[in-house]
């Protein structure tokens, strides 16, 4: 594991478990498909079916459906439930919403999964989807476990060992012989903690874990700066969603890979890419949000940004309007287009080619700490073009989002390249040493209770 310097030796504890994705599939109640001449039923295809082990399969054919929403949704349901998807509504009944009926499905796999796609069939008898016949929404994005640092310290260590079993016999020729026995690992850390009776230890309350004998999941890692746990900006991946946007993935990114995506406004006034996460991670903290954008041409070279706080069901939305938007590399002009709700626009971003210099990097910095005010989620929104303007087919490239709880934007950190040792452990010792003024040094030792893995 490459450690940049001593201050990068950290211990992280899991604060939020990995989540399964919940997908809502809406089907027009009347006339959702067109059937071939002489046919009364037809088949559709489903892409991006992810089983409970994370294996993705495309072009899976449904059973034959008649030209009703109930029949089409029933065939989709049959296929998904046989592929380890579960009903969210245990009654298994369809719900009605205007001209659509819908059902929610929970993916069998925990964590990051691609968004389902339902398309015209390829197996006879073929069903052709009519316009707006099926709408797929991500109700709960799949996400990996969230690990927050429990110690910003220059003192942290990780060790693993294996006991030896003596298997010496008379045939050993006078030499000791051994075989592998019990394996174990240990992590220790210390942190200079400010003592404030009005503020809890905020993730470093090791004594509570010790007294309650709680098992924790810990990781020993390089410093993780980027809250976002994926290098993609793809709907359905680790908190990303879209609204009235058509998204094309695996586009060239600023670093010579293919993690960028192309966003095309499909006709909505608030056409956007969102990143949604729990607001508890931002409570009373400042943040810096940075990203790369690139235009398609001189008429498709604008994005707008906004930040909202909301409840997990999407209701009672409050805009966070105390932030500053700046271009930190490349070209671009920033202007404020909605002072009351704080929506900033970046015009004249770079465009053309795949070279790094054609990309514009933007940072959005909070000027005051985030207050949750009874909210559960925070959502970072990037609008294609101008906020609240319906321009069908306006488009932009986006890549490499980064959200940091720091005072300034650092170089982009690809979350998929961070190596860390991870495993379940118990807190086996806690020590508090008196410091100067209102500080105390808190030390803790974690002893593993199971397998430790090297994750990348």
Query: What is the pLDDT, as a whole number, of residue 262?
Result: 94
Q: Which two tokens stand for residue 13?
A: 């504890």
Query: What is the pLDDT, as a whole number, of residue 367?
Result: 94
CA distances from 295 to 358, 391, 397 (A): 9, 15, 6
Q: What is the dihedral of CA 63, 84, 313, 387, to 10 degrees?
A: -60
Query: What is the pLDDT, as a whole number, of residue 1?
Result: 40
Do 123 and 194 reside in the same domain of the chain?
no
Tell me whether residue 44 is in a domain: yes
Query: What is the pLDDT, as a whole number, of residue 141?
Result: 78
Question: Cis peptide leading into 199, omega within 30 of 0?
Answer: no
Do 95 and 118 reside in the same domain of the chain?
yes
Do 254 and 362 reside in the same domain of the chain?
yes
- CA angle (246, 112, 270) in 5-degree steps: 30
Tell me whether residue 435 is in a domain: yes
Question: What is the DSSP code (8-state) at residue 117?
Answer: E
Do 63 and 37 reside in the same domain of the chain?
yes
Whether 323 and 366 have beta carbons less than 8 Å apart is answered as yes
pLDDT single digits (tens) 221-252: 777 788 898 899 988 788 898 888 989 988 99
Query: Could you identify the residue written with the tokens 């968004």?
Result: 115
Tell me whether residue 446 is in a domain: yes
Tell me whether residue 231 is in a domain: no
Which domain does 170 fall in, by range? Answer: 6-16+148-224+418-455
Tell me whether residue 278 is in a domain: yes
Do 55 and 154 reside in the same domain of the chain?
no
| Final residue in a domain of this structure, among 107, 140, 173 | 140
Do 411 and 451 reside in the same domain of the chain?
no
- CATH code of 323's domain: 2.60.120.260
pTM for the whole thing? 0.64
Say how many C-beta atoms besides its own lie within 10 A of residue 387's C-beta: 21
pLDDT single digits (tens) 397-409: 999 999 998 889 9
pLDDT single digits (tens) 350-361: 998 777 678 999
Query: What is the pLDDT, as a whole number, of residue 151?
Result: 52
Q: How many domains does the chain have?
A: 3
Do 258 and 337 reside in the same domain of the chain?
yes
Do 260 and 176 reside in the same domain of the chain?
no
Query: What is the pLDDT, as a whole number, of residue 164?
Result: 86
Do 93 and 174 reside in the same domain of the chain?
no
Whether 261 and 235 have beta carbons less than 8 Å apart is answered as no
| Final residue in a domain of this structure, among 140, 164, 197 | 140
Query: What is the pLDDT, as a whole number, of residue 3?
Result: 41
Query: What is the pLDDT, as a whole number, of residue 352?
Result: 81
Tell me whether residue 229 is in a domain: no
Tell me whether residue 31 is in a domain: yes
Query: What is the pLDDT, as a whole number, of residue 200?
Result: 43
Q: Which two tokens stand for residue 95?
A: 């719900």
Do 402 and 425 reside in the same domain of the chain?
no
Question: What is the DSSP code (8-state) at residue 114?
Answer: P
| Final residue in a domain of this structure, among 119, 140, 161 | 140
Collect the ranges in the chain with pLDDT lower than 50.
1-9, 193-203
Tell me whether residue 1 is in a domain: no
Do 90 and 52 reside in the same domain of the chain?
yes
Do 365 and 379 reside in the same domain of the chain?
yes
- CATH code of 160's domain: 2.40.30
Query: What is the pLDDT, as a whole number, of residue 149?
Result: 62
Query: What is the pLDDT, as a whole number, of residue 342?
Result: 93
E strands, 62-177, are 86-87, 95-97, 100-110, 117-120, 127-129, 134-140, 146-152, 156-166
Whether 18 and 104 have beta carbons less than 8 Å apart is answered as no
Q: Which two tokens stand for residue 41?
A: 């039923």
């Amino acid at each position: 594991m490459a450690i940049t310097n001593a201050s990068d030796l950290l211990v992280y504890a899991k604060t939020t478990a990995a989540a399964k994705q919940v997908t809502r599939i809406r089907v027009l109640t009347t006339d959702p498909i067109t059937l071939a001449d002489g046919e009364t039923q037809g088949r559709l295809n489903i892409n991006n079916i992810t089983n409970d082990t994370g294996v993705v399969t495309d072009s899976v054919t449904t059973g034959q459906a008649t030209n009703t929403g109930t029949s089409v949704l029933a065939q989709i349901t049959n296929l998904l439930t046989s592929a380890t998807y579960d009903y969210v509504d245990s009654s298994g009944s369809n719900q009605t919403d205007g001209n659509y009926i819908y059902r929610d499905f929970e993916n069998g796999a925990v964590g990051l999964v691609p968004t389902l796609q339902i398309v015209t069939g390829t197996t006879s008898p073929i069903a052709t989807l009519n316009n707006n016949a099926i709408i797929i929404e991500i109700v709960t994005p799949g996400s990996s476990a969230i690990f927050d640092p429990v110690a910003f310290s220059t003192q942290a260590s990780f060790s693993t060992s294996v006991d030896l079993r003596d298997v010496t016999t008379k045939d050993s020729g006078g030499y000791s012989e051994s075989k592998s026995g019990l394996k174990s690992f240990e992590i220790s850390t210390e942190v200079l903690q400010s003592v404030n009776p009005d503020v809890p230890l905020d993730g470093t309350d090791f004594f509570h874990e010790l007294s309650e004998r709680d098992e924790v999941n810990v990781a020993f890692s390089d410093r993780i700066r980027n809250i976002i746990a994926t290098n993609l900006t793809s709907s359905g991946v680790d908190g990303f969603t879209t609204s009235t946007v058509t998204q094309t993935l695996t586009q060239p990114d600023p670093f010579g890979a293919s993690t960028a995506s192309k966003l095309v406004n499909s006709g909505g006034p608030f056409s956007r890419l969102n990143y949604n996460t729990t607001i508890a991670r931002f409570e009373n903290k400042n943040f810096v949000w940075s990203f790369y954008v690139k235009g398609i041409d001189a008429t498709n070279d604008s994005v707008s940004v906004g930040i909202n706080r909301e409840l997990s069901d999407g209701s009672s939305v409050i805009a966070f309007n105390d932030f500053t938007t700046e271009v930190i590399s490349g070209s671009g002009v920033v202007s404020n287009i909605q002072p009351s709700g704080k929506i900033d626009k970046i015009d004249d971003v770079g465009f053309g080619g795949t070279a790094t210099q054609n990309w514009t990097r933007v940072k959005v910095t909070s000027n005051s700490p985030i207050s949750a005010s009874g909210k559960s989620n925070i959502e970072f929104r990037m609008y294609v073009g101008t906020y609240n303007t319906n321009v069908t087919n306006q488009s932009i490239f986006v890549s490499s989002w980064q959200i940091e709880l720091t005072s300034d934007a650092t170089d982009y950190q690809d979350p998929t390249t961070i190596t860390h040792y991870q495993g379940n452990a118990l807190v086996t010792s806690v020590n508090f040493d008196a410091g100067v003024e209102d500080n105390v040094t808190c030390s803790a030792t974690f002893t593993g209770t199971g397998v430790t893995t090297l994750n990348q």
